[in-house]
Chain A
Amino acid sequence: DVKVTQSSRYLVKRTGEKVFLECVQDMDHENMFWYRQDPGLGLRLIYFSYDVKMKEKGDIPEGYSVSREKKERFSLILESASTNQTSMYLCASSSGVNIQYFGAGTRLSVL
Protein backbone atom coordinates (compact mmCIF):
# COMPACT_ATOMS: atom_id res chain seq x y z
CA ASP A 1 0.00 0.00 0.00
CA VAL A 2 1.11 3.52 -0.78
CA LYS A 3 1.83 5.54 2.29
CA VAL A 4 1.92 9.33 2.37
CA THR A 5 2.81 10.59 5.81
CA GLN A 6 2.36 14.15 7.01
CA SER A 7 4.42 15.04 10.02
CA SER A 8 1.64 16.58 12.12
CA ARG A 9 -2.14 16.15 12.28
CA TYR A 10 -2.66 19.40 14.19
CA LEU A 11 -0.52 22.52 14.50
CA VAL A 12 -1.09 25.82 16.26
CA LYS A 13 1.19 28.71 15.34
CA ARG A 14 1.29 32.44 15.91
CA THR A 15 1.07 35.14 13.27
CA GLY A 16 4.48 35.88 11.80
CA GLU A 17 6.03 32.52 12.66
CA LYS A 18 7.81 30.45 10.02
CA VAL A 19 6.00 27.15 9.62
CA PHE A 20 7.24 23.92 8.07
CA LEU A 21 4.85 21.18 6.97
CA GLU A 22 6.57 17.95 6.06
CA CYS A 23 5.37 15.16 3.79
CA VAL A 24 7.04 11.82 3.08
CA GLN A 25 5.98 9.12 0.63
CA ASP A 26 7.34 5.59 0.49
CA MET A 27 6.53 4.58 -3.09
CA ASP A 28 9.30 6.29 -5.04
CA HIS A 29 6.76 8.55 -6.75
CA GLU A 30 8.10 11.31 -8.96
CA ASN A 31 5.23 13.73 -8.38
CA MET A 32 4.26 15.37 -5.13
CA PHE A 33 1.60 17.99 -4.40
CA TRP A 34 0.49 20.37 -1.68
CA TYR A 35 -3.19 21.39 -1.47
CA ARG A 36 -5.19 23.35 1.04
CA GLN A 37 -8.82 22.61 1.77
CA ASP A 38 -11.28 25.18 3.06
CA PRO A 39 -15.05 24.85 3.57
CA GLY A 40 -16.96 25.69 0.41
CA LEU A 41 -13.79 26.06 -1.66
CA GLY A 42 -12.77 22.45 -2.14
CA LEU A 43 -9.13 21.53 -2.58
CA ARG A 44 -6.83 24.14 -4.10
CA LEU A 45 -3.34 23.38 -5.37
CA ILE A 46 -0.54 25.40 -3.81
CA TYR A 47 2.61 23.87 -5.34
CA PHE A 48 3.68 20.66 -6.97
CA SER A 49 6.92 18.99 -7.92
CA TYR A 50 7.79 16.60 -10.73
CA ASP A 51 11.25 15.73 -9.51
CA VAL A 52 13.88 16.47 -6.94
CA LYS A 53 14.69 20.18 -6.75
CA MET A 54 11.90 20.98 -9.21
CA LYS A 55 8.77 22.91 -8.28
CA GLU A 56 5.83 24.44 -10.06
CA LYS A 57 3.28 26.95 -8.79
CA GLY A 58 -0.28 25.86 -8.45
CA ASP A 59 -3.35 28.08 -8.24
CA ILE A 60 -2.58 29.77 -4.91
CA PRO A 61 1.19 29.91 -4.28
CA GLU A 62 1.26 33.35 -2.65
CA GLY A 63 2.61 33.25 0.89
CA TYR A 64 4.05 29.76 0.47
CA SER A 65 7.25 28.14 -0.72
CA VAL A 66 8.31 24.51 -1.08
CA SER A 67 11.42 22.40 -0.93
CA ARG A 68 12.16 19.02 -2.45
CA GLU A 69 15.73 17.99 -1.68
CA LYS A 70 14.99 14.26 -1.69
CA LYS A 71 12.57 12.33 -3.85
CA GLU A 72 10.52 11.04 -0.95
CA ARG A 73 10.12 14.34 0.90
CA PHE A 74 8.21 17.48 -0.04
CA SER A 75 8.07 20.37 2.41
CA LEU A 76 5.64 23.29 2.46
CA ILE A 77 6.91 26.47 4.07
CA LEU A 78 4.89 29.38 5.33
CA GLU A 79 7.51 32.13 5.54
CA SER A 80 5.44 34.35 7.82
CA ALA A 81 2.20 32.71 8.88
CA SER A 82 -0.98 34.75 8.71
CA THR A 83 -4.46 34.06 10.03
CA ASN A 84 -5.82 33.55 6.50
CA GLN A 85 -3.53 30.55 6.19
CA THR A 86 -5.53 28.70 8.82
CA SER A 87 -6.64 25.64 6.88
CA MET A 88 -6.37 21.90 6.31
CA TYR A 89 -3.22 21.13 4.32
CA LEU A 90 -3.07 17.96 2.25
CA CYS A 91 -0.05 16.36 0.64
CA ALA A 92 -0.34 13.91 -2.25
CA SER A 93 1.98 11.88 -4.44
CA SER A 94 1.63 10.09 -7.76
CA SER A 95 3.57 8.15 -10.32
CA GLY A 96 3.25 9.35 -13.88
CA VAL A 97 -0.07 11.02 -14.60
CA ASN A 98 -2.24 8.63 -12.71
CA ILE A 99 -3.79 8.27 -9.29
CA GLN A 100 -2.85 10.70 -6.55
CA TYR A 101 -2.51 9.28 -3.05
CA PHE A 102 -3.16 11.64 -0.19
CA GLY A 103 -1.87 11.94 3.34
CA ALA A 104 -4.14 12.30 6.36
CA GLY A 105 -3.80 16.08 6.37
CA THR A 106 -2.48 18.72 8.75
CA ARG A 107 -4.97 21.06 10.35
CA LEU A 108 -3.11 24.33 10.89
CA SER A 109 -4.43 27.11 13.07
CA VAL A 110 -2.68 30.48 12.96
CA LEU A 111 -3.55 32.71 15.89
Chain B
Amino acid sequence: KQEVTQIPAALSVPEGENLVLNCSFTDSAIYNLQWFRQDPGKGLTSLLLIQSSQREQTSGRLNASLDKSSGRSTLYIAASQPGDSATYLCASHGSGNTGKLIFGQGTTLQVKP
Protein backbone atom coordinates (compact mmCIF):
# COMPACT_ATOMS: atom_id res chain seq x y z
CA LYS B 1 0.00 0.00 0.00
CA GLN B 2 1.40 3.35 -1.07
CA GLU B 3 2.07 5.89 1.66
CA VAL B 4 3.20 9.44 1.03
CA THR B 5 4.91 11.56 3.67
CA GLN B 6 5.86 15.22 3.71
CA ILE B 7 8.25 16.70 6.23
CA PRO B 8 8.24 19.28 7.71
CA ALA B 9 4.57 20.04 8.28
CA ALA B 10 5.33 23.76 8.39
CA LEU B 11 8.16 25.99 7.23
CA SER B 12 8.85 29.71 7.64
CA VAL B 13 11.52 31.48 5.60
CA PRO B 14 12.49 35.09 4.83
CA GLU B 15 11.69 36.50 1.42
CA GLY B 16 14.30 35.79 -1.26
CA GLU B 17 15.49 32.50 0.18
CA ASN B 18 15.74 29.37 -1.94
CA LEU B 19 13.99 26.40 -0.34
CA VAL B 20 13.30 22.71 -0.80
CA LEU B 21 10.15 20.82 0.15
CA ASN B 22 10.44 17.08 0.63
CA CYS B 23 8.12 14.23 -0.28
CA SER B 24 8.75 10.53 0.28
CA PHE B 25 6.75 7.51 -0.87
CA THR B 26 6.92 3.83 0.02
CA ASP B 27 6.13 2.15 -3.32
CA SER B 28 8.68 2.93 -6.02
CA ALA B 29 6.37 1.55 -8.72
CA ILE B 30 4.56 4.85 -9.05
CA TYR B 31 3.14 6.04 -12.35
CA ASN B 32 3.41 9.81 -11.93
CA LEU B 33 4.06 12.25 -9.11
CA GLN B 34 2.25 15.56 -8.93
CA TRP B 35 2.84 18.68 -6.83
CA PHE B 36 -0.08 20.93 -5.89
CA ARG B 37 -0.52 24.26 -4.19
CA GLN B 38 -3.48 24.97 -1.91
CA ASP B 39 -4.35 28.43 -0.66
CA PRO B 40 -6.51 28.77 2.49
CA GLY B 41 -10.13 27.95 1.75
CA LYS B 42 -9.39 27.11 -1.86
CA GLY B 43 -9.07 24.03 -4.03
CA LEU B 44 -5.85 22.53 -5.35
CA THR B 45 -3.82 24.05 -8.15
CA SER B 46 -1.52 21.71 -10.05
CA LEU B 47 2.06 22.98 -10.17
CA LEU B 48 4.08 20.22 -11.78
CA LEU B 49 3.52 16.64 -12.90
CA ILE B 50 6.53 14.33 -13.26
CA GLN B 51 5.99 11.17 -15.27
CA SER B 52 7.66 8.00 -14.05
CA SER B 53 10.14 8.09 -16.96
CA GLN B 54 11.23 11.63 -16.09
CA ARG B 55 13.60 12.84 -13.41
CA GLU B 56 12.51 16.46 -13.16
CA GLN B 57 10.15 19.15 -14.36
CA THR B 58 10.55 22.93 -14.28
CA SER B 59 8.08 25.78 -14.36
CA GLY B 60 9.34 29.29 -13.73
CA ARG B 61 10.90 29.43 -10.27
CA LEU B 62 9.76 25.89 -9.46
CA ASN B 63 11.70 22.70 -10.09
CA ALA B 64 10.48 19.26 -9.07
CA SER B 65 12.64 16.15 -9.09
CA LEU B 66 11.77 12.49 -8.82
CA ASP B 67 14.03 9.66 -7.61
CA LYS B 68 12.01 6.46 -7.74
CA SER B 69 14.80 4.27 -6.42
CA SER B 70 15.03 6.20 -3.17
CA GLY B 71 11.30 6.93 -3.00
CA ARG B 72 11.76 10.69 -2.89
CA SER B 73 10.63 13.82 -4.67
CA THR B 74 11.63 17.41 -3.96
CA LEU B 75 10.09 20.73 -4.91
CA TYR B 76 12.65 23.51 -5.21
CA ILE B 77 11.41 27.09 -5.01
CA ALA B 78 13.89 29.74 -6.07
CA ALA B 79 13.91 33.30 -4.73
CA SER B 80 10.81 32.82 -2.57
CA GLN B 81 8.19 35.58 -2.40
CA PRO B 82 5.38 36.31 0.11
CA GLY B 83 2.92 35.25 -2.60
CA ASP B 84 4.40 31.73 -2.41
CA SER B 85 2.87 31.33 1.06
CA ALA B 86 0.49 28.37 0.84
CA THR B 87 0.27 24.66 1.57
CA TYR B 88 2.15 22.44 -0.86
CA LEU B 89 0.96 18.89 -1.38
CA CYS B 90 2.62 16.05 -3.25
CA ALA B 91 0.61 13.14 -4.58
CA SER B 92 1.51 9.81 -6.06
CA HIS B 93 -0.36 8.33 -8.99
CA GLY B 94 -0.52 4.63 -8.15
CA SER B 95 1.08 1.92 -10.26
CA GLY B 96 -1.02 0.84 -13.21
CA ASN B 97 -2.15 4.42 -13.74
CA THR B 98 -5.59 3.99 -12.25
CA GLY B 99 -5.79 7.73 -11.79
CA LYS B 100 -6.10 7.48 -8.01
CA LEU B 101 -3.96 10.05 -6.20
CA ILE B 102 -2.45 9.32 -2.80
CA PHE B 103 -1.57 12.54 -1.03
CA GLY B 104 0.93 13.52 1.60
CA GLN B 105 -0.16 15.65 4.54
CA GLY B 106 1.25 18.82 3.01
CA THR B 107 3.86 21.40 4.02
CA THR B 108 2.54 24.83 4.97
CA LEU B 109 4.98 27.48 3.79
CA GLN B 110 5.15 31.03 5.09
CA VAL B 111 7.43 33.48 3.33
CA LYS B 112 8.01 36.57 5.45
CA PRO B 113 8.57 39.95 3.77
Q: Is B a genuine binding partner of A?
A: no
